[in-house]
Amino acid sequence: MVERRWFLPIVLVIIGIFSLGLALYFLYSPGHFGSLSLTGNETTQNIDIRLSGPTKKIAVFLVTGDGGSLTTLEKEIPSDLTLIEQVKAVIQNLISKPPEGLMTPIPDGTRLQSLFIDSSGNAYLDFSREIQQSHIGGLTAELLTVGSIVNTLLFNFKEIKGVQLLVEGSEIETLAGHIDCTKPFSQMLMLENKT
Amino acid sequence: MVYTRLKLGIVLILLLGFVPSSQANTLELVFEDGRSRNTLYTLSEGGVEYIPLNQVVQAFNLSRNWDSLNGMILLSYRGRTASITPDQPIAIVERRSYSFKNSPKYIEGILMIPLDYVINILPLLYDKEMSWDSSRRVLRIGSSRIEIASLQHAVYTDYTRIVIQTNKSIAYKVVEKLPALLILDLPEASFILPNNPLQVGSNVVKTVKVINSYGTTQVLINLGEQFASYNHFALNDPPRIVIDVYSTPGGGNTARKEEKPPLVGESLNPLDILPKARTPTTVRAVIIDPGHGGRDNGIALGPDLWEKDITLTVAQKLSESIRRRLGVRVILTRNANENLSPVERTTLANSTKADLFISLHVNNSFSPNTRGFEVYTLDAPGTSDNTNPEALLVKASALDHAQETYLDKSERLANYIVTAYNEETKSKDARSKRAPLLVLKGAIMPAVQIEMGYFSNPVDKEKITQEDFQKLIVKVITDGIINFKRYLEQVSLN
C-alpha cells in the first residue's frame, strides 16, 4: 500500500508533463513550409489598422461590378508600421467588406495566417484553407482572386518582387484548378481582353 | 491460367490432406510495370511458409535447370543464375553465397521454396525492385532497377558541366576529396557506357569515371588544376544529375551562364531544362482534356451535376466529331470520373505525341454580368525573373518553358475556334484571352483551354447543359481545328 501512494503522484506528474508538452506543441508549432528556405520575418498577430497617427495611401485591387475585371480602391494604412505589418494591414483591407459596387474576390472566412518575405523580395502569404475550400471555382473567379492579392502587393510595395500563395502552410499547384501558383508571381495579372 | 490455378489449388488441398498440421494460404504478386496480378498458393508447415517451385518459376518467368554435379537446381533470369539446394538454407547467386532462414524441402514429392527465399534471394536475381507487405500479403514487383543511361559533358569558358542521365530519379550524395576529387555516391546501378571513363580535359575537370563499389555506384570526378567551386542539382524528364564545376569561387551562385553555347563536348540544351521542340506540320492526333474529375468536382452546376461531368460529356462528343470529320487519332486525358493533376494531364498529352491539346472547362465569376465563350492561351507572368538563380535552377522543371515555343500557333488555333463560334452564332460572344494556366504551361504542342460559358451568368448557365449548345460547341471547335490543320499544311508546303 505504501508503494501505491507513491505511484499515483508520479503518474499524475507524467500526465502533467505530457499535457504541457502537447499544449506547447499546438500553441507554438510553426506551419509546414515544405522545402522552402525562408529568411525574413513572420507575424501571426493582427495589425491595428485604426488610423490615429500618420497614414499612407495604398490601393487595393477589387472586382468591378460586372465581375470580369479588377479595379483599384484607395485606402489608408498607418505609415509607422514595419513592411511586414504594412503588408498585413493591406491584406486586411483587401479581405474586409468593400463599398457598394465593388466585390472582394477573397472567400468569406479566409485569414492570412502568416507572412514571410525572403531575401530575394518574394513574399509568401500563407492563407487559411477557406481561400481554397470556399472558393466558387471557375477560371475567371480564380484569376480575380489571385490577381487581387498579387496586384495589390506588387503595386503598393516596391520591396516586394514576387508573390506566392500558400494554403495552410503548404505550396499549392492551383487555387481552383487553373492558375499556376507553383512559383512567385513577379508581374501583375491583367485581365483585359487581348482582342 | 484459370486451369493452372485450379490445378495448383487442388495439389495444395491434397497436400493438406496428407501433411498433418499444415495450413494453406495465398499471397498476391503485383507487377506494377504491366499492372498484372498473380496469386501464389502457399503452404505453412511448422511455422514456415512454402511456395511450390513450379509456381515461382512460372510467376517470375524464370528458367530452371538441374545441376547434377552439385545436386542443385539453377534458376536463371536474363543470364543471371541463383541456386536452390534441397534441405540447405544456402543459395549461390552470381558466384556469391547467401544464406537464408529455412531450407527448401520436398513435401509429398513437390519441391517447396520457403517464402524468405522469394523475398530475400529472388531480388538478387531479378532486375526489378521488390517489396513485401506482410500485413496485406502482397509482394510488389516495381519498376526496373536504377540504370545510368548516359554520361555527357560540356565545357564552357568558366565552368564544365557533367550530366549523368538515369532511368529514374535517384537520391545521391556528394563526397568531397578536395582539391583532387569529387565523388557522387549513388545507389547500386547498372551501366554500360561506351565513354567510361569520360575524358573531359578541361581546366577544371580531367576525367569522369563510373564504378561499382561495395554495393554502391560511384561517379568519380577528377578535378583539374583551376578547380575553384562546384554546384549540383537533379532534374527530371529525363531524370538526371547535373554537376557544374567552376574555375571561379562561388560559381554556383553566379548568373545563368547556361545560355551560352558550349565550347567543347556534346550539345546540351540551353539551360538543360527544355524538352525537344517539335514543329507540327499537320494534325495527326488531338488530345482532349475534360477539366477537373475525381475528387476535384469543379463548379457545382446543380444537384448532383458538376463541371467535371459536363466537361467529360462534351469531350466525348468532341472526340467523336474530330474522328469523324478529320479522320485523326483522338485521345482523352480521362474517360471516366478520374482525378488528375494539371501536370499529369500535360505529361499525358506530351507522352502521346499529340499535335494539339484542348482542355475543356466551365467558367465562373463573382457577378452575373460576365458571359461568353472564351478560348485561352498561356500567359506566363508568373515566371519570376527576380528569383535567386540557384533557387530557380533547383525549382525549374523541364515543363516550365515548354509551351513558349508554341505560343504563336496556340493563339492561331484559339483565333480559328473563336472565329468559327462567332460566325456560327452570328455574334461576338466568343473571344480569345491569355492566362497563366498550369495545364498549358508544359505542353509541347499548340494548346488552348476552352471556357464554354459562365455558370454565373443565367443565359450561359441554362445553355451549358443543353444538348443543342453542346453540339454547337463541338461543331465550332472541330471547324477551328480543321482550319488550323489547313494552315499548318499550307505553311509546311511553303
Are both A21 and A98 inside the same structural domain? no
**Chain A: closest CA distance from residue B378 (Å):** 10
Chain B interface, mutation test: which of A62, A70, A139, most B Cβ atoms within 10 Å? A139
Confidence of residue B9 (pLDDT cuts 50, 70, 90): low
Q: Do B296 and A177 touch (CB under 8 A)?
A: yes
Verify that A66 and A160 share a domain, yes or no: yes
Identify the top-confidence range among A28-42, A51-65, B256-270, B427-441.
B427-441
Which of B161-165, B289-293, B346-350 tops mean pLDDT?
B289-293
Question: Is A68 close to B368, i.e. CB distance below 8 A?
Answer: no
User: With 80 as the cut, is the pLDDT of residue B59 above it?
Assistant: yes
Residues in chain B closer than 8 A to A172 (CB atoms): none
Residues 14-33 of A with CB under 8 A from B: none
**B239, pLDDT greater than 50:** yes
**Do the domain assignments include residue A187?**
no
Beta-bridge partner residues of B198? B208
Which pLDDT value is given to residue A52? 64
Residues B121 and B103: their CA atoms lie apart, in Å, by 12
Closest CA to A36 of A123, A110, A160: A123
Query: B-contacting residues of A 93-112, CB under 8 Å?
Result: 103, 105
Q: Which amino acid is at B314?
A: V
Chain A environment of B385 (Cβ under 8 Å): 186
Are A67 and A162 part of one and the same domain? yes
Banded pLDDT at B212 (limits 50, 70, 90): confident
Please give the pLDDT value at position B250: 63
Residue B308 has pLDDT above 50, yes or no: yes
Question: How much is the average pLDDT of A142-146?
Answer: 96
- Given a cut of 80, whether residue A29 has pLDDT beyond it is no
- Are A119 and B454 a contacting pair at CB < 8 A? no
The confidence score (pLDDT) of residue A194 equals 37
Give the CATH class of B285-493.
alpha beta
pLDDT for B398 equals 47
Query: Would an 8 Å CB–CB cutoff place A179 in contact with chain B?
Result: yes
Regarding whether A112 and A75 lie in a shared domain, the answer is yes
> Complex ipTM, two decimals?
0.75
Q: What pLDDT score was predicted for residue B365? A: 93
d(CA B251, CA B229): 6
Query: H/E/C letters for each residue in chain B?
Result: CHHHHHHHHHHHHHHHHHCCCCEEEEEEEEECCCCEEEEEEEEEECCEEEEEHHHHHHHCCCEEEEECCCCEEEEEECCEEEEECCCCCEEEECCEEEECCCCCEEECCEEEEEHHHHHHCHHHHCCEEEEEECCCCEEEEEEECCEEEEEEEEECCCEEEEEEEECCCCCCEEEEECCCEEEEEEECCEECCCCCCEECCCCCEEEEEEEEECCEEEEEEEECCCCCEEEEEEECCCCEEEEEEECCCCHHHCCCHHHCCCCEECCCCHHHCCCCCCCCCCCCEEEEEECCECCECCCEEECCEEHHHHHHHHHHHHHHHHHHHHCCEEEECCCCCCCCCHHHHHHHHHHCCCCEEEEEEEECCCCCCCCCEEEEEECCCCCCCCCCHHHHHHHCCCCCCHHHHHHHHHHHHHHHHHHHHHHHHCCCCEEEEEECEHHHHCCCCCEEEEEEEECCCHHHHHHHCCHHHHHHHHHHHHHHHHHHHHHHHHHHHC
Tell whether the model's pLDDT for residue A129 goes beyond 90.
yes
A140–B455 CB contact, under 8 Å: no
Over range B406-427, report the average pLDDT.
95
| Segment among A152-166, B230-244, B402-416 with least mean pLDDT | B230-244
CB-nearest to A178 from B366, B433, B437 is: B437
Highest-pLDDT range among B110-119, B339-348, B378-387: B110-119
Which of A67, A90, A71, A60 minimizes the C-alpha distance to A142? A67
Q: Looking at the 3D structure of chain A, how many domains does it have?
A: 2
Do residues B224 and B215 touch, judged by C-beta distance below 8 A?
A: no
Residue B227 Cα, gap to closest chain A Cα (Å): 28
- Which residues 59-98 of A have a C-beta within 8 angstroms of B? 63, 65-68
Q: What is the mean pLDDT of residues B462-490?
A: 95
CA distances (Å), B237 to each of A162, B81, B82, B406, in order?
27, 34, 35, 19
What's the pLDDT tens digit per position in B97-114?
777 888 999 888 889 999
List of chain B residues whose C-beta atoms are within 8 Å of the C-beta of residue A139: 361, 363-364, 376, 435, 437, 449, 451
Q: Are residues A153 and A97 part of one domain?
A: yes
Between A107-111, A139-143, B50-54, B277-281, the lowest mean confidence (pLDDT) is in: B277-281
Return the residue in B387, B403, B454, B456 with the most chain A beta carbons within 10 A, the one to mutate for interface testing. Answer: B387
Does the beta-carbon distance from A189 to B384 stay under 8 Å? no
Write down the domain spans for chain B.
Answer: 2-144, 147-270, 285-493
Residue A79 counted as domain residue: yes
Whether B385 and A186 lie within 8 Å, measured CB to CB: yes
Q: Which pLDDT belongs to residue B389?
A: 40
Cβ of A139 within 8 Å of Cβ of B434? The answer is no
Which residues in chain A have their CB less than 8 angstroms from residue B451's CB? Answer: 139-140
Per-residue confidence (pLDDT) for residue A74, from 0 to 100: 93
pLDDT of res. A130? 94
pLDDT above 60: residue B29:
yes
Per CB-CB distance under 8 Å, the chain B contacts of A138 are 299, 361-365, 454-456
In sequence order, what are the residues at sequence separation of 6 or more whose Cβ sits closer than 8 angstroms to the Cβ of residue B229?
Answer: B245, B246, B248, B249, B250, B251, B252
Q: Does one domain contain both A22 and A75?
A: no
B411 vs B380, which has greater pLDDT?
B411
Contact A66 B370 (CB under 8 A): yes
Please give the average per-residue pLDDT across B337-362, as a whole number: 86
Residue B376 reports pLDDT greater than 60: yes
Instruction: Please report which confidence band the pLDDT of residue A51 belongs to, taking 50, 70 and 90 as the band edges.
Output: low
Q: What is the pLDDT of residue A41?
A: 39
pLDDT of residue A30: 39
State mean pLDDT over B461-468: 94
Inter-chain touch A66–B369, beta carbons under 8 Å: yes
Contact A115, A84 (CB under 8 A): yes
Give the gap in angstroms from C-alpha B49 to the nearest C-alpha of chain A. Answer: 43
Q: Please state the rounded mean pLDDT for residues B410-438.
A: 95
Yes or no: domain B147-270 corresponds to CATH 2.60.40.3500: yes
* pLDDT at residue B261 is higher than 60: no
Are residue A131 and residue A167 in the same domain, yes or no?
A: yes
Q: Is the pTM of this model over 0.95?
A: no
Query: Number of residue pairs across A and B with CB atoms under 8 Å?
Result: 138
Question: For position B253, what pLDDT does the model report?
Answer: 42
Is A173–B365 a contact, with Cβ atoms under 8 angstroms apart? no
Give the residue with greater pLDDT, B450 vs B384: B450
Report the pLDDT value the prediction gives residue B72, as an integer from 0 to 100.
Answer: 87
> When comparing pLDDT for B419 and B272, which is higher?
B419
Flag if A136 and B370 touch (Cβ within 8 Å).
no
Q: Mean pLDDT over residues B7-26, rounded?
A: 57
Nearest chain A residue to B367, by CA:
A67
**Nearest C-alpha of chain B: how many angstroms from A188?**
7
A14 and A70 inside one domain: no
B451 min Cα distance to partner chain A (Å): 8
**What is the pLDDT confidence band of residue B20, given thresholds at 50, 70 and 90?**
very low
State pLDDT tens for residues B286-300.
Answer: 999 999 998 889 999
In our burial notation (b when 16+ CB lie closer than 10 A, e otherwise), range B241-259 reads: bbbbbbbeeebbebeeebe
Determine phi and psi for B371, rounding to 5 degrees.
Answer: -150, 170
Higher pLDDT, A183 or A3: A183
pLDDT of B145:
67
Q: Among A138, A188, A195, whose Cβ lies nearest the Cβ of B365? A: A138
pLDDT at A25 over 50: yes
Q: Are A120 and B365 inside 8 Å of each other by CB?
A: no
Is the separation of the CB atoms in B368 and A136 below 8 Å? Answer: no
Claim to verify: residue A5 and residue A62 sit in the same structural domain: no
User: What pLDDT sits at residue B313?
Assistant: 96
User: In terms of domains, do A62 and A18 share one?
Assistant: no
CB within 8 Å: B367 and A68 = yes
Range of the domain at A95: 55-171
Grade residue B402 by pLDDT with cuts at 50, 70 and 90: confident
Domain match, A116 and A161 both: yes
Lowest-confidence range among A185-194, B44-53, B193-202?
Answer: A185-194
Is A67's CB within 8 Å of B369's CB?
Answer: yes
Q: Given 3.40.920.10, 3.80.30.20, 3.90.1640.10, 3.30.457.10, which CATH number is that of B2-144?
A: 3.30.457.10
pLDDT reading at B454 higher than 80: yes
Q: Residues A79, A155: one domain?
A: yes
